[in-house]
């Protein structure tokens, strides 16, 4: 019997129950919903060390014999088509519990540090990232896009409240069918006034260590259910190594990658790079052309920007993208032109640099990639209850 909090073995003894109870018990089918009365007793042989000796069973919701998910191997497409039922499995419960713990840890982390939660809009007019957009007609106001990021609004809020974060669904119309991409995913985006890129990385390593430690501390049974090697997670402690982009390219070339200076790191490059480490690592200061328009030019090497990606170990790849923001009005305007973005949509964003500009930094952590890594899942699709991918809009 399963009640959401866990499962228990239920035992009926024919001689101890009414014949009609015995008959109802015999007629139970997989996934019948029951109301059960009984006595809990200790029994070393039962899973969990306890079982329930039932005295009565009532059927609250019967279930026909053709329950689609049977105790045998099903293909993942079949399971995803039946995601509304698949969620009932113990593995899916374990993943949901770990995700829930991580979300709570995220909120606690920022609450304890006096960040203000600011909910940013999902319907937007300004484009935040380079990846694909979902567009819809918005009354007489033209095209609205589903937010790829809350960051630009987060920056306005940081100017008002100092340290803030937003945490909500974000959307990317990317035609990528990889094990890391969803078209709808949840992102946590803190933004901090007066933090530079170094402060930003310190916040990230403290944050990632905190949420991983919390999952290990409070969700060990679930991680064991998922057969996760928890000792690997226990090694995740700040500080994380910092690798300059230029050095990363040289290391990758030496390892046989055909990356050249200027390219963003591909998934294979990320795996090659993290293979030498057992904690997450930072790759810092990418070339301008590989990153978004809002990142601050690196004074030490203007071909690059003050930014970092945080790559998770065990081949999980980029879980965070972060940067110091361009706070110079003219430089930011020039980047908007260079990227051929519609300047009129960024008037308000430029205002943040016009009226009392300030050094500030922030980052975005992808929740599903983080949950996948912590749970040791082979694909992000199981890390969210109802995944949205290129070929999946139902259930």
Q: Which residues bind Mg ion (CB under 5 A)?
A: 321
Cα separation of 7 and 4, whole Å? 8
Neighbour-count burial of 55, counting CB atoms closer than 10 A to its CB (0-12 exposed, 13-18 middle, 19+ buried):
middle
CB of 267 to Mg ion, least distance (A): 12
How many residues can be counted in the chain? 395
Q: Binding of ligand 4AD at residue 381 (CB under 6 A)?
A: no
Q: Which of 57, 80, 187, 281 forms a contact with ligand 4AD (CB under 6 A)?
A: 187
Q: Which stretch binds ligand 4AD (CB under 6 A): 52-60, 65-73, 82-90, 356-364?
A: 356-364
Question: How large is the C-alpha radius of gyration of the chain?
Answer: 25
Q: Is residue 369 at the binding interface for ligand 4AD, with CB under 6 A as the rule?
A: yes
Closest CB to ligand 4AD among residues 252, 380 = 380
Strands 317-324 and 360-366: antiparallel
At residue 393, the 3 state secondary structure works out as coil
Query: Binding residue for ligand 4AD (CB under 6 A) from 366, 371, 372, 374?
Result: 366
Is omega for the bond preceding 314 within 30 degrees of 0, making it cis? no
DSSP run (H or E) holding 319: strand 317-324
In the complex with ligand 4AD, which residue's Cβ is closer, 51 or 368?
368
- Can residue 106 be called a binding residue for ligand 4AD (CB under 6 A)? no
* Residue with Cβ nearer ligand 4AD (24 or 383): 383
**CA angle at 259 for the pair 257 and 261, rounded to the nearest 5°:** 145
Phi, psi of 247 (to 5 degrees): -70, -35
Picked from ligand 4AD, Mg ion, none, the partner binding residue 182 (CB below 5 to 8 A depending on kind) is ligand 4AD
Cβ–Cβ < 8 Å for 225, 91? yes
Among 101, 189, 326, 382, binds ligand 4AD (CB under 6 A): 189
State the DSSP string of 129-161. SSS---EEE-TTS-EEEE-S-SHHHHHHHHHHH
Q: Which does 149 bind (CB under 5 to 8 A by kind): ligand 4AD, Mg ion, none?
A: ligand 4AD
Pick the binder of ligand 4AD from 181, 228, 288, 381 (CB under 6 A): 181
* Residue 189 site contact among ligand 4AD, Mg ion, none (CB < 5 to 8 Å, cut-off depends on kind): ligand 4AD
Q: CA 285 → CA 74, 225, 363, distances in Å?
A: 45, 39, 14
The closest of 270, 248, 277, 273 to 261, measured between CA atoms, is 248
Query: Count of residues binding ligand 4AD (CB under 6 A)?
Result: 24
Options 144, 273, 320, 375; binder of ligand 4AD; rule CB under 6 A: 320
Does 128 help bind ligand 4AD (rule: CB under 6 A)? yes
Residue of 8, 16, 5, 90 lying closest to 42 (CA atoms): 8
Residue whose CB is less far from ligand 4AD, 318 or 382 = 318
The pair of structure tokens assigned to 250 is 């040289």
Residue 257 vs 323, nearer CB to ligand 4AD: 323
**Residue span 134-173 as binding mask against ligand 4AD, x where in contact by CB under 6 A, dash where not:** ---------------x-x--------------------x-
Sign of CA dihedral 154, 310, 125, 171: negative
Phi-psi region of 209 (alpha: psi -120 to 50; beta: other; left: phi over 0): alpha
Position 185 contacts ligand 4AD (CB under 6 A): yes
Residue 315 backbone class (left: φ over 0; alpha: ψ -120 to 50; beta: rest): left
Residue closer to Mg ion, measured from CB, 12 or 133: 133
In the complex, the smallest distance separating the C-beta of residue 56 from ligand 4AD, rounded to whole angstroms, is 48
- At its nearest, how many Å lie between Mg ion and the CB of residue 339? 16
Q: Which stretch binds ligand 4AD (CB under 6 A): 17-25, 212-220, 241-249, 358-366?
A: 358-366
From residue 300 to residue 319, the character string flagging contacts with ligand 4AD as x (rule: CB under 6 A) and all else as - is: ------------------xx
Site residues (CB under 6 A) for ligand 4AD?
128-129, 149, 151, 172, 174, 181-182, 185, 187, 189, 318-323, 362-364, 366, 368-369, 380
């Amino acid at each position: 019997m399963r009640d959401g909090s866990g499962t228990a073995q239920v035992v009926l003894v024919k001689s101890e129950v009414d014949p009609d109870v015995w008959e109802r018990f015999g007629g139970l089918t997989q996934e019948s919903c029951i109301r059960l009365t009984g006595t809990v007793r200790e029994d070393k042989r039962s899973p969990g060390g306890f079982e329930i000796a039932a005295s009565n069973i009532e059927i609250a919701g019967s279930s026909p014999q053709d329950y689609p998910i049977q105790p045998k191997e099903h293909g993942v497409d079949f399971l995803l088509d039946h995601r509304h039922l698949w969620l009932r499995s113990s593995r899916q419960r374990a993943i949901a519990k770990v995700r829930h713990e991580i979300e709570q840890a995220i909120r606690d982390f920022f609450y304890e540090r006096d960040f203000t939660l600011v909910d940013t809009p999902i319907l937007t007019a300004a484009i935040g990232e380079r990846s694909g957009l979902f567009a819809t007609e918005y009354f007489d106001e033209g095209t609205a896009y589903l937010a790829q990021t809350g960051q630009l609004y987060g920056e306005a809020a940081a100017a008002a409240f100092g340290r803030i974060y937003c945490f909500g669904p974000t959307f990317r119309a990317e035609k990528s069918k990889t094990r890391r991409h969803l078209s709808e995913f949840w992102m946590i985006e803190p933004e901090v006034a007066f933090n530079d890129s170094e402060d930003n990385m310190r916040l990230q390593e403290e944050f990632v260590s905190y949420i991983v430690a919390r999952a290990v501390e409070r969700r060990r049974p679930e991680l064991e259910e998922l057969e996760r090697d928890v000792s690997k997670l226990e090694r995740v402690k700040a500080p994380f190594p910092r690798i300059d982009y230029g050095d990363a390219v040289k290391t990758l070339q030496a390892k046989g990658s055909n990356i050249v200076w200027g390219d963003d790191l591909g998934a294979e490059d990320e795996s090659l790079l993290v293979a030498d480490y057992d904690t997450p690592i930072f790759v810092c200061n990418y070339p301008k052309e590989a990153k978004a328009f809002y990142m601050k030019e690196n004074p030490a090497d203007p071909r690059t920007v003050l930014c970092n990606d945080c790559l998770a170990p065990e081949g999980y790849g980029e879980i965070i993208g972060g940067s110091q923001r361009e706070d110079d009005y003219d430089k930011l305007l020039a980047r908007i032109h260079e990227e051929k973005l519609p300047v009129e949509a960024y008037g308000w964003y430029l205002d943040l640099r016009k009226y009392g500009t300030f050094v500030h930094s922030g980052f975005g952590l992808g929740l599903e990639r983080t949950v996948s890594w912590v749970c040791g899942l082979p694909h992000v699709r199981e890390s969210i209850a109802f995944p949205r991918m290129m070929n999946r809009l139902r259930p």
